[in-house]
Amino acid sequence: MNADAFNRLLQQPSLLKETSLAELEQLAYEYPWFSTAHLLIAAKKQQNDVAVSDQDFQKAVAYTAKSLWLANRYKLFTEALGGKQSVVANETMTTDETDAAIDAMALVEAEDTREKVELAEDETAFDAAIVLDAEAEIEAAKLIEEAEAEAAAEAIIAADAEREVADFIEKTDAELAADAAIEAADANEALQEPIIKPFVMPDLSAPAQEPVITFEPFHTVDYFASQGIKLQEDRLGNDALGKQVKSFTQWLRSMKKIYVEEKKQLDSNEEEKVVNKATQSNLQEDVITETMAEVLAKQGKKAQAIDLYSKLSLLHPEKSVYFASRIEELKQ
């Protein structure tokens, strides 16, 4: 039911006969706070069931503050339908307002209600859109912040890697330069020495002296000097390699200064013990093993093999049967 049809229905209550109950109930369903719609439903049901119409009329009264106007309208609609009036309606029908003013007020109330509903729906939709836009902006800001943090971390890692590579290259260049400087100094020193030394005639008139062979412990030998390497500490660099070479040469030189204790003279008793022990170690003792017996048997020395098996039988009684069988085989 549109607004024009409803307006005509209010001005001409007789049109309520042509209006179906379903249309009125649909209007009340769409606008449940519209008291006039409930009033029309009560008037429409008045034709058949008074009890039901009274219930609908009470519902219409609950939705409005103008009970007198509502009772007057109910009277007009029930008279137009030609039905009986409700008991509740008869008790409240005492109004002096004109029909035109009442109809106008009903139309204004309906229009105001519809506009309020539409405005509330628009405001709700607008608020929802604002909330969604705000959430989208927050998510976008978080994504941008995370991307910037990852980019900053990657930049820091790349800078650290470049710095480490540069430090390694610088250190390597310094070590190579120090090695090159030492090699160049050694080469210059070698060039300065004469290649061919002048021959000096030995003095034949002097008596010949036998060379004296001396022994020096190996831990006191200068390693670099024994290898023909001449080290000049003032030319060694202050890098890690130069410091290690210096510390090693200083350790070798300090080892030469360690006091070497004199060997203690052994007394006669200790000398005899040493001689006896050496003599006993040089004596050839019999090897009493099964393997030795097998070797003697293969060499054809059966008598020695039989004697060795006999000794093994005494040393290992649990295998005496086996050794006895071997002795019998050799005797055959």
Instruction: With 0.75 as the threshold, say if the pTM is over it.
Output: no
Q: DSSP letter for 236, please.
A: S
Strand, helix or coil at 214? coil
C-alpha span between 43 and 56 (Å, rounded): 9
Exposure of 55 by Cβ count < 10 A (0-12 exposed, 13-18 middle, 19+ buried)? middle
Total Cβ atoms within 10 A of residue 146:
10
Mean pLDDT of 107-125: 65
Task: Give the per-residue pLDDT at 263.
Answer: 45
Packed helices 35-45 and 50-62: angle between N→C axes, nearest 10 degrees:
170
Q: What are the structure tokens assigned to 130, written together? A: 């604002």
C-alpha span between 113 and 315 (Å, rounded): 127
Task: Give the per-residue pLDDT at 125.
Answer: 63
Total Cβ atoms within 10 A of residue 114:
14
Q: DSSP letter for 212, please.
A: P
Q: DSSP letter for 218, please.
A: G
CATH no., domain 3-97? 1.25.40
DSSP codes joined into one string, 253-283:
HHHHTSPPPPPPPP-HHHHHHHHHHHHHHHS
C-alpha span between 327 and 305 (Å, rounded): 8
C-alpha span between 79 and 86 (Å, rounded): 11
Strand, helix or coil at 206? coil
pLDDT digits (tens, 9 = 90+) for 78-94: 676 664 444 444 444 44
pLDDT digits (tens, 9 = 90+) for 228-282: 666 665 555 566 766 676 677 677 666 655 544 444 454 566 667 777 776 666 5
Total Cβ atoms within 10 A of residue 95:
16
pLDDT band at 187 (very low <50, low <70, confident <90, very high): confident
Lowest mean pLDDT among 45-59, 153-167, 251-265: 251-265
DSSP codes joined into one string, 271-327:
HHHHHHHHHHHHS------HHHHHHHHHTT-HHHHHHHHHHHHHH-GGGHHHHHHHH
Residue of 280, 183, 313 whose CA lies nearest to 237: 183
Domain ranges in the chain are 3-97, 101-181, 218-256, 281-331
Strand, helix or coil at 92? helix
C-alpha span between 320 and 69 (Å, rounded): 141
Total Cβ atoms within 10 A of residue 39:
27
Q: How far is CA 19 from CA 108, 236, 268, in A?
A: 22, 120, 152
Strand, helix or coil at 104? helix
